[in-house]
Structure 1
Amino acid sequence: MTAYLIRRLFQMALVVFVVSIFMFLLFNIAPGGPLTGLQQQQRRITPEERARIRAQYELDLYWPVRYTRWLVGWPTGPIVINGQEWFANVPLGCYLEATPAEGGGCHEYVYLSDMPRLHPPVRSSKGILFGDFGQSTVVQAGRPVWDLLTSRIWATVELQVISLVLSLVIAIPLGIYSAVHQYSRFDYTFTTAAFIGSSMPTFFFGLLFILIFTVLAGRVQEVWPWWPTLPPGLREAVRPYDVASWLTRVQPGSPIDRFLHLLMPVGVLTIVSVAAWSRFLRSSMLEVLRQDYVRTARAKGLVERVVINKHALRNALIPFVTIVVLQIPLFFAGAIVTETIFAWPGMGRLYFDALNRSDYNIALAFIYVTTILTVFATLLGDILYAVIDPRIRYS
């Protein structure tokens, strides 16, 4: 096992390195970019402003040089553009002619000829391998990317953990019961519902929930006063609101307010996951139930519950583990579509905003961390295979 883990760790490092090269290259050759909007306003942009933008995104450097600066912070130092030297990757507010209390001005990028009368700049990015992802350039300009990620990650973890637990609690019993009672009325009903749930896109359920529990809730309450009006977005309200006749004046930030904001996004994620996972587990259980050792266990007179839970389920969970462990990256990456629809302030919404506004530092950091979590999730899945099935050995 030790030799296997060492070999896998080396392979994981190689995979992360190759993925980082390709994603950095794709972001640099993709259409659009920071100067897309400025190219339509060339007459309004001064040469100094254009040089500042090009220095900010290091557009005059070859992409391998930009990649090494992004990865390990090397080569360091200023960028030379048209004979002038500029500092890049420096946060807002680092060049101050005077303190803010004295009314000093702030310059994000300055010529080196101006440096004698300014304070020394903050050191450039050390590289993502050293935990320095640079600064946000658009979404929250000047704020370190890592601080921005950590401020959003807990909202995503809250959403993903709750939906994961609910999905497992619902999907596993449904899949097992449907497989054991194959071709029953319940099996046909469950299979149809699961097929519909896995076929519909995520945004369909999100918009449907908002329509039923927010937009049309007032009309439904005329017939059923107990029908709730749920908040359509965000993590907590900004002012008090009423839900139904049985719950009025919910205060912003209260536990019940946070719970009500969780209901719809968690419901969407749970429906989609249960529909897919239960069908997958049902198929795996059906395959295992046809094996000879299951028939042998029944022939020995074992109780059906023991045959299902001890002999069949354990082997049926082996392929199911692959799906579950791949949810680990989602604890960081979040659900982009669901978080965007419900304006949930998590990682998925942040990544969508970063792509939409060409904040490449955030987008690259997001993909890089997600890649690392994905390769570690696959390693964890291989280890769990050996725990579930003693016949699996690694050497």
Structure 2
Amino acid sequence: MIRFVILRILQVIPTLFAVSLIAFFIIQLPPGNYLTVHIANLQAQGETIDPAQIEALRQRYGIDDPFWVQYWKWISNILFHGDLGQSFQHGRPVSVLIGDVLPLTLILGVSTLLLTWAIALPAGVISAMRQHSVVDYTISGIGFVALAVPNFLVALIFAYLGFALLGTSVGGLFSPEYAHAPWSLAKVIDLLEHLWIPVLVISLAGTAGIIRVTRANMLDELRKPYVTTARAKGLSEGKIVRKYPLRIALNPFISTVGWNIPSIFDGEVIVATVLALGTTGPLLLGALRAQDMYLAGGIIFIIAVLTVIGTLISDILLAAVDPRVRYGRI
């Protein structure tokens, strides 16, 4: 087990390097840069442009430097100084911008994750145990609809229903009077009143996917000879399911637990933008549109790190649950 963990950890370093290089390269693929976007916006507004100021910005941010120079400057500052760089668009450090939206992002992400697991796992097991019943068809039907309907459309529907039926203001995680107010019990209650819409919307597709995977694996395990043998020995159905099929059927779920860690940080970008949530999703989208490479690169780099760490955690958990993984037999 120790050897397995060490090998997985050693694979993290080159993976992170490759991901950071590819991410920084992709961010710079669109033609132009932040200054060209900034100049175009100023011209569209009819404002004059000072060439000396533009040249000073080019020199300050090293926009005309070769790709490798820009990448090394960015990654070396992260590795040796923990500095994610300066945002062109906002004129503030990237770490400060991310820190401003991080608390709400974590609240939204953790709430969504807990709701997804709380609904999906029991529903998947029940659907498999009652195959071809009304319950099974109902759960499967809801799951198919949740997978088929785009999340941003569901967000618009829920926002309308929340406003029309419950009087909840549309957009954001707070009412206008609490948006910039200090934290208090009233602000927490206001947050909970607004939080249920994005949590339900973001969790829909993930919940449906886990239900389908859990149901399929449970059905596969329930048909195996060891379950028939356990029934022949007189064990109760509940004990049989808990002790044997459920444990093995959860392997795919455990292997994807780590993938949910970066989703806690980034959330659903389109849904967050549609609902005007103050999370990292709209911040990333705005940075990509403005070609703010340090802000976009910093957020993508953090997501990549969380993805690699999450995958490592999933591998370790899966190896602990199923010894076959440690010996490469599945």
TM (norm. structure 1) is: 0.75
User: Does the CA contact (< 8 Å) of 1:167 and 1:274 recur in 2?
Assistant: yes
Deviation for aligned residue 1:366: 0.7
CA–CA distance in structure 2, aligned partners of residues 197 and 19 of structure 1: 31
| 1:281 corresponding residue in structure 2 | 214
Q: Give the counterpart letter for 2:118 in structure 1.
A: V
Matching residue within 161, 186, 193 for 2:110: 161
What's the offset of the Cα at 1:280?
1.5
> What pairs up with 1:247-258 in 2 under 5 angstroms?
253-258=186-191
Please list the CA deviations of residues 236-275 of structure 1 after superposition, one character each: whole Å capped at 9, or x if unmatched: 11238xxxxxxxxxx9953321111112111112322222
Q: The residue matched to 2:250 in structure 1 has which SS?
A: helix
Structure 1 gaps, min length 5: 73-125, 218-226, 241-250
**Higher CA-based Rg:** 1
CA spacing shift, 1:269–1:44, aligned 2, 3 Å: closer
Corresponding letter in the other structure for 2:28: N
* 1:233 counterpart residue number: 171
1:207 aligned residue: 156
Q: Cα distance 1:254–1:20, how it changes in 2: closer, same or farther (>3 A)?
A: closer
1:293 aligns with 2:232: no
Match of 1:51 among 51, 55, 71: 55
2:153 matches 1:149:
no
Q: In the alignment, is the contact (CA less than 8 A) between 2:4 and 2:326 conserved in 1?
A: no
Pick from 318, 327, 337: which aligns with 2:260?
Answer: 327
Which of the numbers 184, 195, 200 marks the counterpart of 1:267? Answer: 200
Partner of 1:132: 83
User: CA shift at 1:4, angstroms?
Assistant: 2.5
CA-CA distance at 1:386 after TM superposition? 2.3
Percent pairwise identity: 35
* Alignment partners' CA distance in 1, 2:185 and 2:310: 37
| CA spacing shift, 1:308–1:383, aligned 2, 3 Å | same
Residues 351 and 292 of structure 1, relative CA distance in 2, 3 Å threshold: same
Whole-angstrom distance in 2 between the partners of 1:270 and 1:68:
38
Matches of 2:271 and 2:105, distance apart in 1: 11
Q: Tell me the distance in 1 between the aligned counterparts of 2:285 and 2:64.
A: 27
Give the C-alpha shift of residue 384 in structure 1: 1.0
**Shift of residue 357 of structure 1?**
2.3
Instruction: State the shift of 1:47 in Å.
Output: 3.6
1:29 Cα deviation from its structure 2 partner: 2.8
Unaligned runs of 5+ in 2: 179-183
**Contact 1:175/1:282, CA 8 A, preserved across alignment:** yes
Q: CA deviation at 1:208?
A: 0.6
d(CA) in 2 for partners of 1:239, 1:22:
43
Asked if the contact 2:87/2:94 (under 8 Å) is kept, the reply is: yes
Q: CA 1:375–1:299 in structure 2 vs 1: closer, same or farther (change >3 Å)? A: same
Kept in 2: contact 1:234–1:261 (CA 8 A): yes
| Shift in CA distance, 291/130, structure 1 to aligned 2, threshold 3 Å | farther
Aligned residues: 319
Q: What is the Cα-based RMSD across aligned positions, in Å?
A: 2.3
Q: Secondary structure at the residue paired with 1:380?
A: helix
Is 1:19 matched with 2:23? no
1:387 and 2:320 equivalent?
yes
User: TM-score, length-normalised on structure 2?
Assistant: 0.89
Tell me which residue corresponds to 1:91: none
Specify which of 340, 346, 349 is matched with residue 282 of structure 2.
349
Q: CA offsets per residue over residues 68-124 of structure 1, 9 Å max, x none?
A: 11111xxxxxxxxxxxxxxxxxxxxxxxxxxxxxxxxxxxxxxxxxxxxxxxxxxxx
Q: CA deviation at 1:31?
A: 2.5
Q: Partner residue of 2:7?
A: 7
CA 1:238–1:45 in 2, change beyond 3 Å: closer, same or farther? Answer: closer
Distance in 2 (alpha carbons) for counterparts of 1:129 and 1:373: 19
Distance 1:273 1:18 in 2: 28
The 3 A distance-change label for structure 1 pair 378 and 394 is farther
Task: Output aligned runs, 1:367-378, within 5 Å.
Answer: 367-378=300-311
Report the AA paired with residue 173 of structure 2. Answer: R
User: Partners of 1:171 and 1:375 in 2: how far apart?
Assistant: 24
Q: Which has the higher contact order (CA 8 A, sep 6+)?
A: 2
Structure 1 residue 128, shift from structure 2 partner = 4.6
Structure having the higher helix fraction is 2
- Alpha carbons of structure 1 residues 361 and 231: separation in structure 2 relative to 1, 3 Å: same
